[in-house]
Amino acid sequence: MHRFWFRLWLEWALRFTLESVFLAFLLSLIVTAAIYIGKGAAAIDKDVLKALLDIFRFWFLIIWNLTLLISLFRGVKYFFNRCHEGYVLKLLTCRGEETIEKIGYGDIPKVFRKWMMAMIWSVSALMVLSFIVSYLFADSHQWYNIYVLYLFILISGAITIPLMGNRCKRVRLMKC
């Protein structure tokens, strides 16, 4: 059973990472190109390239925050109907009588809201704990950034994915 949850979390973490970073990269590239073209598309030299890289980095961090949320929502769909280590998570209909075999994005908002609230509480607890530890044992108190938040989200995913079956009435763990 533990291997099932670990495999489900690992698959989710890999998908979440690749999707959020790729979308952030792509959207940041588009924003940077739009700014470059909007400002007259100067000839590319060392200074222009450095400025474009700075603009890209700035927008990447902002857009990554948005793509993290998008990837979290999209990732819930892929928890279901995938057999790992002899178990599978199934999403039930609203009446809870039969399973949904082809899950669409319209089927997951209720499950996502419950999972997201568990994620928020878990990330908050990790933040408080890490703040206390850094306050007591570290000289620098400027530790929080998007990379730390991302790490907390991954850890919280490992904590909250197994709780989904208990918190959501429409989710069942079954043998496959």
What local confidence, expressed as pLDDT, does residue 10 receive?
Answer: 93
Q: Which two tokens stand for residue 8?
A: 């489900």
Q: What is the DSSP letter of 107?
A: G
Give the residue from 36, 112, 23 showing the smallest Cα distance to 62: 23
Residue 13 has pLDDT above 90, yes or no: yes
pLDDT in tens, 86-115: 888 888 877 767 888 888 888 888 888 889
Rounded to whole angstroms, how far apart are CA atoms 161 and 165? Answer: 8
Where do the domains of the chain lie? 2-175
pLDDT in tens, 24-50: 999 999 999 999 988 888 788 898 899
What local confidence, expressed as pLDDT, does residue 141 receive?
Answer: 64
pTM, two decimal places: 0.81
